[in-house]
Amino acid sequence: MPLLDEIPFYWKYIYKIIGIIQFPTEENASNIVPHLWPLPQNCLFIYICVKYYVSINHLKFLGIFYFVDALTSIGTALSLVISITIFIQRSRDLKKLLLQLKEIKIDSVHRKTRSKANHYLRIILIITIFYYFLFIPFESEPLFYTLFFIYPGIILLFDHIFLSDILEIICNEFEQINREIKYQTTSHRIIFKTKKINDEEINDKMVRAEQLSLCHCDLTALTLNICHHFETTIIVAMITSFNYVTSTVYFLIYFLARSYEANLFVLFGNNFAFLSFYVFWLLLILEMFTRTEKEANITGRYIHDIWNKFEANGNMTKKLRHLQLVSIRFLNNKLEFRARNFFRLDWSFCHTMIAAITTYVIILVQFHI
């Protein structure tokens, strides 16, 4: 069966060219061709790396910036090498997991296409990239110097946009489960007004609730397995963002404090685009995980609402008490995203990142200003 048919074809071609998708998405397609798509862009980055390291001694660094740029350049090259390696290693397992996801379909007549809330962040990020490249002709550094630092970030960004597309599909399935459970709650209001409920109606509700709870558990486990293959690239992205944002903020503070004579429009415009890119990239990552986690974990509350309605109307029986067990299953099977158990992937991570960047910028300022 075709994979990722919910994703627009132009996004899939971008993922193939970059090397994020290295498995066939169509039936009876070749398994070798997807591995050949990213070869041109990999060769391009190798050329940029060689050109950069050959010419690095001719670039003028200022004091501590020599060590900051050296550390940043090593981290830049390593980040893309790690990403390319992960793309190749995970391709087979990711294809199997996506096939399992394709087989999970909630039988509901109340399906609704979910609006993609993170599309605004995608648009902002793409605009930021174009805005950054507008300043390249006005910079004093060579073109390969600029591409060397922004290129790995763009590759990792599209990797997380791809994960966002997968989570959008998963989040839609969680939403269908929630819609079906809410329908079970609201479609039998006339029943709640009666004194007794016949056994057939009770059995139908119990069977449907049990089916939805099992489907929810399978979907939760599958979601964690899929995200597990992206955890390494997420950690690399976080480290890269921290490194670039810290060095860029210190760079701006340094030249403001020293009253450095330069084209301020180019200096601040370029660095503002650079900072905006990594800030909105972080927001994109956290938004997609938080949204999926919220949609998955709210299901237990709907099951508990059904149980409360029967209890409030005095219709609770031994069979209906099974709903309490189903509700406990949801509460003990919450979806929670972590990056290799190093940190939670939710909005609280923003506070951690801001605190860490502020601390290291202050340390650098105390050393050199």
Kindly report, residue by residue over 24-78, the tens digit of the pLDDT: 888 777 778 888 888 888 888 888 888 777 776 555 555 556 666 677 777 788 8
- Please compute Rg for the chain using Cα positions: 25
Place of tokens 């949801």: 330
Q: What is the pLDDT averaged over residues 287-308?
A: 82
Q: Output the CA angle 296-298-299, nearest 5 degrees.
A: 75
Measured distance CA(66)–CA(225) in Å, rounded: 41
DSSP string for residues in 275-302: HHHHHHHHHHHHHHHHHHHHHHHTHHHH
How many Å apart are CA 15 and CA 13, to the nearest integer? 5
Task: Give the pLDDT confidence score for residue 167 in this predicted structure.
Answer: 92
**Span 290-301, average pLDDT:** 86
pLDDT of 190 above 50: no
Q: How many CA atoms lie less than 13 Å away from 161 in the CB half-sphere?
A: 24
Looking at residue 255, its pLDDT comes to 75
- Quick one: CA dihedral 218, 224, 226, 229, positive or negative? negative
Report the b/e string of 105-138 with b at 16+ CB within 10 A: ebebeeeeebeeebeebbebbeebbebbeebbee
- CA-CA distances (angstroms) from residue 83 to 16, 43, 185, 278, 327? 14, 15, 46, 17, 40
Q: How confident is the model at residue 276 (pLDDT cuts 50, 70, 90)?
A: confident
Q: What is the distance between the alpha carbons of residues 256 and 252, in angstroms, rounded to a whole number?
A: 6
Q: What are the tens digits of pLDDT across the range 95-136?
A: 899 988 888 877 655 555 544 556 888 888 888 888 888 877
Name the burial class of residue 341, with classes exposed (0-12), middle (13-18) and buried (19+) by CB atoms within 10 angstroms of its CB. Answer: exposed
Please tell me the pTM assigned to this model: 0.85
**What is the secondary structure of 204-268 as a DSSP string?**
HHHHHHHHHHHHHHHHHHHHHHHHHTTHHHHHHHHHHHHHHHHHHHHHHHHHHHTT--S-HHHHH
Rounded distance between C-alpha atoms, residue 87 and residue 232, angstroms: 11
- pLDDT at residue 191 in the model: 42
3-state helix, strand, coil in the chain (%, to 5): 75, 0, 25
Q: How far apart are CA 219 and CA 173, in angstroms?
A: 8
In the prediction, which pLDDT does 193 show?
Answer: 42
The token duo for 98 is: 């996506």
Beta bridge partners of 344: 338
Predicted confidence band at 263 (pLDDT cuts at 50, 70, 90)? low
Tokens matching residue 194: 């009666």
Q: Is 81 exposed, middle or buried (0-12, 13-18, 19+ CB in 10 A)?
A: middle
Per-residue pLDDT tens digits for 319-351? 666 667 777 777 777 888 988 888 888 888 888
Question: Rounded to whole angstroms, how far apart are CA atoms 35 and 42?
Answer: 11
Q: Closest by alpha carbon to 21, among 88, 101, 103? A: 88
Sign of CA dihedral 79, 85, 86, 88: positive
Q: Check whether 286 has a pLDDT greater than 70.
A: yes
